[in-house]
Amino acid sequence: MLRVYIVSHLPVPEDVIDHVGEVLSRISGVDVYSLLMEELVDFALQFYDSVRGQVNAELLLSFLKSITRVSSYTLEKYVYVIDVDAFVPGLDFVFGVAELCGDVAVVFTLRLRQEFWNGFYRIEVDPRRLFRERLKKEILHELGHTLCLEHCPNRRCVMSFSNSIIDVDYKSADFCVECLGKLRRIVSWRHKL
Ligand SMILES: [Zn+2]
Ligand SMILES: [Zn+2]
């Protein structure tokens, strides 16, 4: 059984939680929980780089790992969803970060909002729906990394690397057949430990 905790300072829309559960249920038995944690923005701002005007995602991820207590009896993954803009050294920004095969991931939502891109990039979809679709993709992508998946060359696969919001909109909110197969092997192997 896989347990996924989606932790945010804002309520995560129900259809996002349901979609994540539905996709993962094809890999393993899964429970997805949504938790509110109001102090998350304050945590993130501790790692705010005032020169860049963004949060340092790597430092924040290490901090969140240090405060997350993961059960050693079940396979548990934590995805923190935070409405700020973040970077890792060498990249202008990131939509999320995760440790490969780790327990903790972070998704940054500020750049998933269409308001951020208006003027640069237009798309004729209801912005609230667009935000929910992008959030599903980024949560599944970072969860995929925590389940040992690396980037996928299939640009429709949720595990493809997104260099821009256009890439995020192009990919589907699902794993390709190959990534799905890998996930099944990884999860069943982990269950035997
Ligand atoms: Zn990635
Ligand atoms: Zn794939």
| pLDDT tens-digit readout, 114-164 | 999 987 888 888 999 999 999 999 999 999 999 999 999 999 999 999 989
d(CA 4, CA 8): 13
In this predicted structure, the answer to whether residue 192 has a pLDDT above a threshold of 60 is no
Which ligand minimizes its atom distance to the CA of 174? 2
Which ligand minimizes its atom distance to the CA of 142? 1
Per-residue pLDDT, averaged over 164-176, amounts to 97
Give the DSSP H or E segment for 35.
strand 30-36
- Mean per-residue pLDDT over the chain, rounded: 95
CB environment 107-116: b (16+ within 10 A), e (fewer):
bbbbbbbbee
Distance 142 CA to ligand 1 centre (A): 6
Nearest to 156 by CA among 142, 138, 175: 175
Q: Where are the domains of the chain?
A: 2-182
Tokens 């003027």, located at residue: 119
CA angle 68, 134, 22 (to 5 degrees): 70
150 catalytic, yes or no? no
pLDDT category at 74 given cuts 50, 70, 90 is confident
pLDDT category at 68 given cuts 50, 70, 90 is very high
Q: What is the pLDDT of residue 191?
A: 63
Helix (H, G, I), strand (E, B) or coil at 180: helix
Q: Which of 22, 115, 142, 178 is catalytic?
A: 142
Report the CATH number of the 2-182 domain: 3.40.390.10
Token pair in block for residue 181: 């197969």
Q: What is the pLDDT of residue 93?
A: 96
Distance 134 CA to ligand 1 centre (A): 14
Distance 144 CA to ligand 2 centre (A): 10
Per-residue pLDDT, averaged over 103-114, amounts to 97
Distance 9 CA to ligand 2 centre (A): 30
Token pair in block for residue 75: 């396979």
Q: What is the pLDDT of residue 129?
A: 95
Per-residue pLDDT, averaged over 53-79, amounts to 94
**Higher-confidence position of 59 and 71:** 59
d(CA 134, CA 114): 10
φ/ψ of 79, rounded to 5, equals -115, 115
